[in-house]
Amino acid sequence: MSALAFAAERAVAIHAVLAASKVCQRVFTKLVNGETVTKKDKSPVTIADYSAQAVVNTFLNSSFPSDPIVGEEDSKDLRGDAGRLMREKVLELANSGLDTPLTEQSILETIDRGTYGGGAKGRMWALDPIDGTKGFLRGEQFAVCLALIIDGQVQVGVMGCPNLPVDAKNQDGEKGCLFITVKGQGAFQRNFSSTTEVPISMSDIQSLTDASFCESVESGHSNQSEAAKIAQLLGITKAPVRMDSQCKYCSISRGDAEVYLRLPVSATYEEKIWDHASGSLLVAEAGGIVSDVYGRPLDFSHGRTLATNSGVVAAHAKIHAKVIEAVQKVLFPEGKL
Ligand SMILES: Nc1ncnc2c1ncn2[C@@H]1O[C@H](COP(=O)(O)OS(=O)(=O)O)[C@@H](OP(=O)(O)O)[C@H]1O
Ligand SMILES: [Mg+2]
Ligand SMILES: [Mg+2]
Ligand SMILES: [Mg+2]
């Protein structure tokens, strides 16, 4: 029997994401003041973001040395005297997740393997070493997200969610799960504590009024008041589930909630490909449709951002069109696009 497509990429991605997730957990238990830097756009970056990017890039480098990587972070703030303290901590933490230790010089180069500009042709990996850095800092949800994109199409997605309960019905139970998908091969969950993969699928609700929304915690990332109007229009009465990171895609993929809405808060913000690549394939493979607020598919072929899309709407295939209709009515009441 021939091996399934992308078996090697899938296996390496699982290994890399699991190792990076464990490094993030280790950093969290050691977090102290002064270990967070802020980028120009005010978004936080921690030693965990850098360490996780170094770990994943090391695994990718060793198995697929010629594949480019579109990673969120770069080594700029770790260089020179100003970056020394941070650099030393990142080195120690990244090496705690690797068999062959990196040196001070090689860790910077490894992190910067993620500076690829993306595009429409060829293979590339999209990496968000910690998606939901704010959630990570609060001790809430975050995810290590890795996807393989070929000619603009997401083919493989793996997400590690260290703080996500393995069973949403038991919020105080075991935490830490991986979500794994390959295009055409379905969606799976595996707990950190086991190698058994279980197929997952979205909840197939009969009526939209039974649905619940999953949306961002940060009101600066998604327009929550417009989302409330859309829920009302659809007759949804359940309160939205607010959660950081691509754990939102994971949650709806296993049926914890039915709809993920990410409504643009500004006309100029372009969503980053690493914030959506793995999650969008997971939802598609679990029976859903992912589009922007206009109903257009997410287009990963325009570089590091989803430059031709606006916002995200993810829902079960049976209800997606109805959700888009309501989104249009609320966001574009005059009917103008
Ligand atoms: N203005 C604006 N609009 C939309 N998205 C933005 C915006 N600013 C930042 N970001 C990106 O949001 C990523 C985290 O999104 P989440 O939905 O997980 O975050 S949250 O629940 O709102 O914290 C976050 O990813 P990380 O930086 O990996 O945490 C950012 O890439
Ligand atoms: Mg960030
Ligand atoms: Mg992110
Ligand atoms: Mg990030």
**Residue 130 marked in a binding site:** yes
d(CA 144, CA 131): 6
Q: Which atom, in ligand 1's list, is nearest to the CA of 242?
A: 21
Task: List, for residues 62-98, the tens digit of each pLDDT value.
Answer: 999 999 999 999 999 999 999 999 999 999 999 999 9
C-beta separation of 110 from 65 below 8 A: no
Tell me the helices (H) and strands (E) count for the chain, helix number first.
9, 14
Q: What is the pLDDT of residue 30?
A: 76
Distance (angstroms) between ligand 2 centre and the Cα of 277 equals 15
Any atom of ligand 1 within 6 Å of the Cβ of 275:
yes
Any atom of ligand 1 within 6 Å of the Cβ of 133:
yes
The two domains 7-199 and 208-331 share their CATH topology (first three levels equal) = no
Q: Which atom, in ligand 1's list, is nearest to the CA of 246?
A: 18
Q: Which token pair is 33? A: 């003041």
Any atom of ligand 1 within 6 Å of the Cβ of 258:
no
pTM for the model stands at 0.96
In CATH terms, is domain 208-331 a member of 3.40.190.80? yes
Q: What is the pLDDT of residue 31?
A: 66
118 CB neighbour count, 10 Å cutoff = 21
Task: List, for residues 232-279, the tens digit of each pLDDT value.
Answer: 999 999 999 999 999 999 999 999 999 999 999 998 999 999 999 999
ipTM > 0.90, yes or no: yes
Catalytic residues: 49, 133
Distances (CA, A) of 324 to 12, 231, 235, 259, 314: 36, 12, 14, 11, 9
Q: What is the pLDDT of residue 228?
A: 94
How many CA atoms, within 13 angstroms, populate the side-chain half-sphere of residue 329? 13
| pLDDT less than 70: residues of the chain | 1-2, 31-37, 39-44, 336-337
Q: What is the pLDDT of residue 166?
A: 98
Q: Which token pair is 130? A: 């910690």
Angle between helix 84-95 and helix 47-63 axes, rounded to 10 deg: 50
Give the domain ranges of the chain: 7-199, 208-331
**Residue 131 marked in a binding site:** yes
Rg (CA), the chain: 19
The fold for domain 7-199 equals: Fructose-1,6-Bisphosphatase; Chain A, domain 1 (3.30.540)
Q: What is the pLDDT of residue 41?
A: 66
Q: What is the pLDDT of residue 336?
A: 55
- The total number of residues written for the chain in this structure: 337
